[in-house]
Amino acid sequence: MLVDQNPAFKANVSLNDVVSVAQIVEEFLDMFIVDLITVTNTDNKLLSSYPEGIQSHNFETWDGREHAIFGEIPDIEFDYPIIWHIEPNIYKVVSVPISIDYEIIGTLTLGVMITDYEAEDLQLSKKSDKHILNDGYINAS
């Protein structure tokens, strides 16, 4: 079952029940290999997140989430991944709308950390090196 289609999850998001949404997200962590999960309501209130340290960030203007809040579902294969920087890491993310009876009640974002593995995968030539930088800090190489 897809995360955003779970009836208990959707009901708790619609009620803005932070404790119950967090419990369901905790259960989802056993099913997915992800480094980041956020659940927000339509007012940009963060209902749950993993890891918990990202709760102080403003999710209102983050790429991807603003599209999901309007019901846009990203392509399965997209050429330009959405990147979020949450100190000290960089994540490749996808955000989808959460809806009940065609009414959007929130967003779900899943992300994986960009590491040296991804940098190595991007390296097209043995004669060049790729570095993923953020404010002068090397996140991956």
Q: Predicted confidence band at 135 (pLDDT cuts at 50, 70, 90)?
A: low
Residue 7's pLDDT is 87
| pTM of this structure | 0.75
Cβ atoms of 14 and 103 closer than 8 Å: no
Higher pLDDT, 55 or 82: 82
Upper half-sphere CA count for residue 134 (Cβ side, 13 Å)? 13
Residue 94's pLDDT is 85
DSSP reduced 3-state for 141: coil
Residue 1's pLDDT is 37
| Residues 129, 63, 83: CA angle, nearest 5 degrees | 20
pLDDT digits 0-9 by tens, 114-132: 887 766 666 655 666 666 6
Domains of the chain and any CATH numbers = 3-115 (3.30.450.20)
- For residue 72, what are the contacts with CB-CB under 8 A and spacing of at least 6? 97
Cβ atoms of 43 and 107 closer than 8 Å: no
Higher pLDDT, 45 or 54: 45
